[in-house]
Structure 1
Amino acid sequence: MTRAFITGISGQDGTILAGVLAGQGVEVHGLVRSADEAASHAPALPGGVTLHVGELTDGERISELLAEVRPDEVYNLAGISSVAYSWEHPVQTGLVSGLGAVNVFEAARRLQDGTGRPVRVLQASSAEIFGNPDRTPQDESTRVAPLSPYGAAKAYAHQMAAVFRSRDLHVATVVLYNHESPLRPVTFVTRKITAAAARIAHEGAGTLVLGDLSVRRDWGWAPDYVDAMVRTIRHGRPDDFVIATGRTHSVEEFVAAAMERAGVTDWRDRVSVDPSFVRPAEAAEQVGDASKALAELGWSPTVPFSEIVGRMVDHDLELLRRNG
């Protein structure tokens, strides 16, 4: 039986991935930061998933856990998940998302060298490593030039994955563009928008305050991107793959789609812009070219933009109805 270890199992992607792997008959283990986190998130995971407490920044603990679990596949999804948060906490971001990833790579290398069994590692990279890109759309050969602490930490981990490949560790990366689902917390702008649209529709009142509405992003469906992770780690050779839809939409278009799905017609009167929400440095547009993933992995996105937004709004409307 294949055994997998997932860091960041309590996040959107980790939760979805745990369900996919368990459905395949994989023995799933996950890393959480505390016993309280384990207790609170366990109900969202499939039965049989084993949770282990540890910090990504504690290299010895990560090595101990991998030596104990002896996984065949390691998915490193943990890290600081907010670009805005990374500006407020740049050192922590570098330690967790940058050096923490190297702790995972080194622990997997030690396990492989110590047992003689191959270990495959998947590093979740990000489009933020490209910063303000030198070409559009971006592909695997696009220059890495991050603009934020988040992007810089992810860039370090991305490049260290290639370094560990040269040491005969199977480390593959997926350069993930924005991908959403109802599992996104409301600290993310997409879920903030869909939750607000549902609330305004449900209550007939309320407002939504955002930053720059003109920013354009390449938004996909999170379960599609998790599928790409599994395909990538099991590919014949470790490599880098851009995972994206190839189409962009502005934040304003996201708001319009969410309000329309919720049935709010006067939404422009309910949305305001707060300059304090605008990030210090941000690419105006990010869009990925996933043609390599299509050619080598057989992967392509399955859910269009309007349906992604609609599913999130429907979920938030249902939560409000359920809670009275």
Structure 2
Amino acid sequence: MAKAALITGITGQDGSYLAELLLDNGYEIYGLIRRLSTPNFTRVEHVADRITFLEGDLTDQSSLNIAMQTAQPDEVYNLAAQSFVATSWNQPVLTGDVTGLGVIRILEAIRQFSPDAKFYQASSSEMFGAAESPQNEQTVFHPRSPYAVAKVYGYYSTINYKESYNLFACNGILFNHESPRRGIEFVTKKITDGVARIHCGLSKELRLGNLDAKRDWGFAGDYVRAMWLMLQQDKPDDYVIATGESHSVKEFVDEAFSSVGLDWQNYVKMDERFMRPADVPELRGDASKAKNKLGWVPLTSFKELVSMMVEQDLIKYKKSDSDCIFGVKP
């Protein structure tokens, strides 16, 4: 009999890659979606006919209860959140409700209606904040944004329910992971989209904030494999998932512009509007535990990641006369 999985945030970047992985492994997939006037299924439209979509919201306990009763899942992956760090400063209460309390609501639905289900909580490297690099599972958290604080709440709620109710509940502390499916509000996508627009003659500059911040960037397609592996273990545990390398925003910018033969310094402008009240200087993970216990290692390099993102954005803006193609300067 096929396993059933319930995925919150299924229409997002990670949700779409995870759905593909689970479908390839024969799962029956249920995807939780919010009721919107114009739902966005772009990332999952190629597999939408193989997914059962259920309406629900992390701020509404009754909708989560109904979804859990309907799906009766073997595995639950909570990937939904208000996940944009910059927005969390403008909407801290909403971020706390969705990203923090939303975890408790899902755990309550599991406890009451599907207590044998294995639960994965998408925790974040942002929880480490100002902690010294590299960070691992023993590093003390020092969150530096409302989003990070909410994620810490969800992290400890997951542990609390595991210890209090004997649930199979895991935290995946994922460092930054990107892909061509990344939302435009994130700096990596903003960069690759900007490079493509400039390369194709649609824009003349790219405005960014702090170029010195360093992050451990991996490929989302690699990282969802780690999520799945965590729930295939005999006992629940928490894992850092990262590449072990950090690169500055400036390095990302340089790599993206270089991939199309351009010098970023001719196009990038600093803009104070994109500076955060409190920023994190560096996040770099130590995924030794995941490597040793899960057998997980990242398969995509930093250079490959940036290239695939730029290439996809170039395809999006490709001109009808075909003079805007990857690797060729118009």
Give the TM-score taking structure 1 as reference length.
0.95
Pairing 1:217-232 to 2, within 5 Å after superposition:
217-232=215-230
> Does structure 1 residue 43 correspond to structure 2 residue 76?
no
* 1:144 partner SS: coil
Matched residue, 1:91? 93
Cα displacement string for residues 242-301 of structure 1 (whole angstroms, at most 9, x for unaligned residues): 00001000000000000011222x320210101221111111001000000000000011
How far apart are residue 44 of structure 1 and its match?
4.2
Pairing 1:220-259 to 2, within 5 Å after superposition:
220-259=218-257
- Check whether the contact 2:200–2:319 (CA below 8 A) recurs between aligned residues: no
- Check whether the contact 1:3–1:26 (CA below 8 A) recurs between aligned residues: yes
Match of 2:172 among 168, 171, 174: 174
Matched residue, 1:4? 5
Matched residue, 1:17? 18
- Check whether the contact 1:18–1:46 (CA below 8 A) recurs between aligned residues: no
Match of 2:69 among 64, 67, 70: 67
- Check whether the contact 2:55–2:63 (CA below 8 A) recurs between aligned residues: no
Measure, in 2, the Cα distance between the counterparts of 1:303 and 1:249: 15
Matched residue, 1:33? 34
Match of 1:142 among 139, 145, 168: 139
How far apart are residue 107 of structure 1 and its match?
0.7
Gaps of at least 5 residues in structure 1 are none
Cα displacement string for residues 66-99 of structure 1 (whole angstroms, at most 9, x for unaligned residues): 0111000000000011000000000000000000
Gaps of at least 5 residues in structure 2 are 322-330
Matched residue, 2:295? 298
Matched residue, 2:107? 105
> Does structure 1 residue 160 correspond to structure 2 residue 157?
yes
Matched residue, 2:194? 196
How far apart are residue 186 of structure 1 and its match?
1.0
CA distance 1:205–1:120, change in 2 (3 Å): closer
Measure, in 2, the Cα distance between the counterparts of 1:110 and 1:91: 27
Measure, in 2, the Cα distance between the counterparts of 1:216 and 1:254: 10
* 1:93 partner SS: helix
Count of aligned positions: 318
Measure, in 2, the Cα distance between the counterparts of 1:297 and 1:322: 45
Q: Which moved more, 1:62-71 or 1:86-95?
A: 62-71
- Check whether the contact 1:22–1:46 (CA below 8 A) recurs between aligned residues: no
How far apart are residue 310 of structure 1 and its match?
0.3
- Check whether the contact 1:35–1:53 (CA below 8 A) recurs between aligned residues: no
Matched residue, 2:204? 206
- Check whether the contact 2:11–2:40 (CA below 8 A) recurs between aligned residues: no
Measure, in 2, the Cα distance between the counterparts of 1:39 and 1:275: 31
Matched residue, 2:324? none
Measure, in 1, the Cα distance between the counterparts of 2:118 and 2:41: 29
Measure, in 2, the Cα distance between the counterparts of 1:191 and 1:70: 36
Cα displacement string for residues 208-263 of structure 1 (whole angstroms, at most 9, x for unaligned residues): 00001010000001001000000012122111100000100000000000001122
Give the TM-score taking structure 2 as reference length.
0.93
* 1:203 partner SS: coil
- Check whether the contact 2:183–2:189 (CA below 8 A) recurs between aligned residues: yes
Match of 2:266 among 266, 269, 281: 269
Measure, in 2, the Cα distance between the counterparts of 1:59 and 1:204: 45
How far apart are residue 47 of structure 1 and its match?
2.8
Q: Which moved more, 1:102-111 or 1:39-48?
A: 39-48
> Does structure 1 residue 126 correspond to structure 2 residue 124?
yes
- Check whether the contact 2:11–2:41 (CA below 8 A) recurs between aligned residues: no
Measure, in 1, the Cα distance between the counterparts of 2:235 and 2:179: 30
CA distance 1:323–1:9, change in 2 (3 Å): farther
Amino acid at match of 2:284: V
How far apart are residue 39 of structure 1 and its match?
6.5
CA distance 1:196–1:39, change in 2 (3 Å): closer
How far apart are residue 140 of structure 1 and its match?
0.3
Matched residue, 2:328? none
Q: CA RMSD in A?
A: 1.5
Amino acid at match of 1:274: D
* 1:6 partner SS: strand
Amino acid at match of 2:16: T
